Amino acid sequence: MRIISGTARGTNLYTLEGKETRPTLDRVKESLFNIIQNKIQDSIFLDLFSGSGAIGLEAASRGAKKCILCDRSKDAIRIIKKNTEKTHLECKVKIFNKDFSSLLKNDIEKIDIVYIDPPYKSDYIFESLKIITENNILKEDGLIILETDEKDRILNQIDKLKIEVIDQRKYGRAHLIFLKELRWIGKGLNHGNIYIIRNFRGNIRK
């Protein structure tokens, strides 16, 4: 596992041993960052279930202004710190050893890009998205990215949240799901709520 591009390009990263984590494959990571490359520069990037920190550090290497890496595992935090030092990205990285809900409810700022790749067979995606949408954490044109191998279950879970799926990609068993938050702007003529969403290019869709 390595940093693919940017200031730390080619740096091999330490990995986290055990069954609780599964690092994102380099081919998936490369495809992900090719898709979002125009949104990375000077962004505030949140890697919510960081594991080894590979995704957040890739964002930092590619020009993100600030990367927030969160994991409740002390072993994960130890590896994240080693990888942050190895890539010389300490000035861009803020590390939190705590539960995702505690971070989102108490210690977070406005975010441009949120990457959510929790342990499989959990409900953490739904729980984290619920907190994000209820607490107005995402910036106006912010982006949420999910990685999962349970696409159908996850999409069913999040169907009632104020978010919209704008893109999906499949790489073997791994699915990347790209989301935008729906923004309430008032009541329509039929007294129903009106929401807007911005696509990747910033155009407004109703």
Domain ranges of the chain: 26-205
The lowest-confidence range among 12-16, 69-73, 117-121, 175-179 is 117-121
Element (H, E) at 80: helix 74-87
Q: pTM for this one?
A: 0.87
DSSP code string of 102-134: HHHHHS---EEEEEE---TTSSHHHHHHHHHHH
Which CATH number among 3.90.850.10, 1.10.10.10, 3.40.50.150, 3.40.950.10 corresponds to the domain 26-205?
3.40.50.150
Alpha carbon separation from 152 to 11, 17, 136 (Å, rounded): 35, 28, 26
pLDDT band at 200 (very low <50, low <70, confident <90, very high): very low
Q: What is the pLDDT of residues 74-116, one digit of tens each?
A: 999 999 999 999 999 999 999 999 999 999 998 789 999 999 9
**Segment 174-190, tens digit of pLDDT:** 999 999 998 654 454 44
